[in-house]
Structure formats: C-alpha cells, structure tokens
A and B are shown apart, each in its own frame.
Chain A
C-alpha cells in the first residue's frame, strides 16, 4: 500500500500517523507539503492528519480545504482513491465538501483531551474489516471543535445509507449522552462518503498502535487499510 500524509502548516500529528501506517503496512508513508499541486502516481491512500492547520484561522480546516493540494486530493477521491481524515483532517474534509456536515465547537466549550470509546457501525469497509462486527475500541480525543453537526435530512440519509462509521459509546457499547462528550449529533464520531472510500473521524486511532505505549486498540483500522489496499 502506497500512502501519503498531507502536511499543512500547523499539522502536528503526521509523525504518529506515519508510525501507525508503517506499523500496519511495513512501508513508510510519503509526506507531502500542502503547496504541492499533485499527488504521486500509484497512490492508494491519502491521509489528512490532526493538528491546527493554518492556526485554525477562520474555521477549523477552512484554510487547508482551499490549499493547492486539496484540489488534487479531491480529484484523487473522485477517481475512487481512499482518503482518511483524523481530527483536523476530518474538519478539512467537511470544509472541502468531501464529507457532509460540519464540526462545531464542543457543546461544553471545553477542549477535550481524554480517551473515548467508539463503536464500529459496520465492519465491511476498507477501514474496518479487521474489526469484528459491533466492535468497541478505545481511542484518544484531543479537540475543541468535534461536535458533529448536519441537518436532520443529512443525518437521516447518513444513517439510512450506512454511512455512519463510528459512534461515541460507553465501554459496553451503548450510545448514551454521557459517552458523547463533545455533543455530536446522534453520537457520531466518524462518517463515510457515499462510496465508503473517504472516512473522517475526530478521535485519534493512531495513538494506540504500540503494545508498549497505551495498547493497540487503533491498529485494526490501519491493518484494515493495509489488507484492503495491498492488492489495489
């Protein structure tokens, strides 16, 4: 699998993401600076990592969404390429119109830096096939603007078409208000594009990929991509 991580000024989670991808695939991903106008040939996966691109000016992800490389990422996705956006990367995908909805300020107004649990809503996509059906896994969230919002019609469509990827749940797998720390609509932590090849999520699965550093809860997501895209 050939993966590239897009690096914007203010991106700060690209090294953790690179470690996770390396661990799952055995290959180091490329790092691409935002001013590049094209993605490398033969790319399987483009990743938008976490951070505070452009200092969160205007709105989180708004400036990055209009940077030169995002045109190439949009074209890559339109050709059926796989794209993963984590945290600020999810915000960028929404601002770029590649995923529906928007990430509002956390309902509590507080920056949340803590672990959460997420339920895998379907385990038949390129991002989740290594998870058992209904799996619950732990990840770290670290965001001020992770409160997923979309209008009712869009939320109904996401649910109806199986495009909700992950929900905030209790460790036992229940989607309660208490488990939904940022106030996201319908406990939504992550969503897919219509073709299931673009995924955005707020928490950081790349934090948990090493048994000696906080466990490997997040590793199946990257292994899923490695399995799915190895032959692609």
Chain B
C-alpha cells in the first residue's frame, strides 16, 4: 500500500526558502502570488495492506523522523 507524507513548515514558522521562491516567481513576471510555503513530500511503499494500519504507521514515521514537529506539520494520505 502506498502512503504519501506531506511535511510543511508550521504556520508562524519563518520559511525563508518559500519567501525566496516567491520573490523569484515575481521576478519571472508571475503576478498575484501572495505567499509561497516550501515543504517536502515522502512517498512510502508499505507492505501493510490495511489502510487504517498503513495510515497509523505512516503517521508514526512522520512523528518520529520525517517531520520535526517543533517546526513542521504533516499530512498523511494512503491508497
């Protein structure tokens, strides 16, 4: 079963990378970009076949390693 973990900087945590990308987009002539937040996506191929269990294990992986919950939030999608 596939699981996808999306890790993003928490609201209120400075994201200088996102800010720099936003400025670069403006430099390319893209108008109206209010904010850019840059994060990471992890695609996991899990042996687990039960969606609820796959989600639970992916969430545990995110809490323990994939995200630093001091500064990042995460979202898990399975299937």
Interface size of B by CB at 8 A reads 10
B14 touches A107 (CB 8 A): yes
A100, A102, A107, A183: which has the most chain B beta carbons within 10 Å? Answer: A102
Q: Given A58-B65, A62-B65, A66-B65, A102 and B17 touching (CB < 8 A)? A: no
Find A108's partner among B13, B16, B70 (CB 8 Å cutoff): B16
B68 touches A109 (CB 8 A): no
B16 touches A107 (CB 8 A): yes
Q: CA of A109 to CA of B17 in the docked complex: distance in angstroms?
A: 7
Interface on chain A toward B: helix, strand, loop, or mixed SS? loop
A105 touches B16 (CB 8 A): yes
Interface size of A by CB at 8 A reads 20
Find B14's partner among A95, A100, A101, A149 (CB 8 Å cutoff): A149
B68 touches A95 (CB 8 A): yes
List which B24-70 residues lie within 8 A (CB) of chain A: 65-66, 68, 70
Q: Does B20 contact A (CB under 8 A)?
A: yes
Q: CA of A102 to CA of B14 in the docked complex: distance in angstroms?
A: 12
Q: Does A150 contact B (CB under 8 A)?
A: yes
Q: Does A34 contact B (CB under 8 A)?
A: no
Q: CA of A59 to CA of B13 in the docked complex: distance in angstroms?
A: 15
Chain A's nearest CB lies how many Å from the CB of B26?
Answer: 16
Give how many A-B residue pairs fall within 8 Å (CB-CB). 34
A149 touches B70 (CB 8 A): yes
Chain A's nearest CB lies how many Å from the CB of B27?
Answer: 15
List which A39-79 residues lie within 8 A (CB) of chain B: 58-59, 62, 66
Which B residue's beta carbon lies closest to that of A154? B70
Find B68's partner among A62, A66, A106, A151 (CB 8 Å cutoff): A62
Return chain B residues, CB-CB under 8 Å to A94.
Answer: 70
Q: Does B1 contact A (CB under 8 A)?
A: no
Chain B's nearest CB lies how many Å from the CB of A92?
Answer: 12
Q: Does A93 contact B (CB under 8 A)?
A: no
Return chain A residues, CB-CB under 8 Å to B20.
Answer: 109
Q: Does A104 contact B (CB under 8 A)?
A: yes
A–B complex contacts, Cβ < 8 Å, 18 sampled: A58-B65, A58-B66, A59-B68, A66-B65, A94-B70, A95-B68, A100-B70, A101-B70, A102-B68, A102-B70, A104-B16, A105-B17, A107-B14, A108-B16, A109-B20, A149-B13, A151-B70, A183-B14
Residues of A within 8 A of B (CB): 58-59, 62, 66, 94-95, 100-102, 104-109, 147, 149-151, 183
Q: Contacts A105-B17, A107-B14, A149-B14 given; 6 further ones with Cβ under 8 A?
A: A59-B68, A100-B70, A102-B68, A102-B70, A104-B71, A183-B14
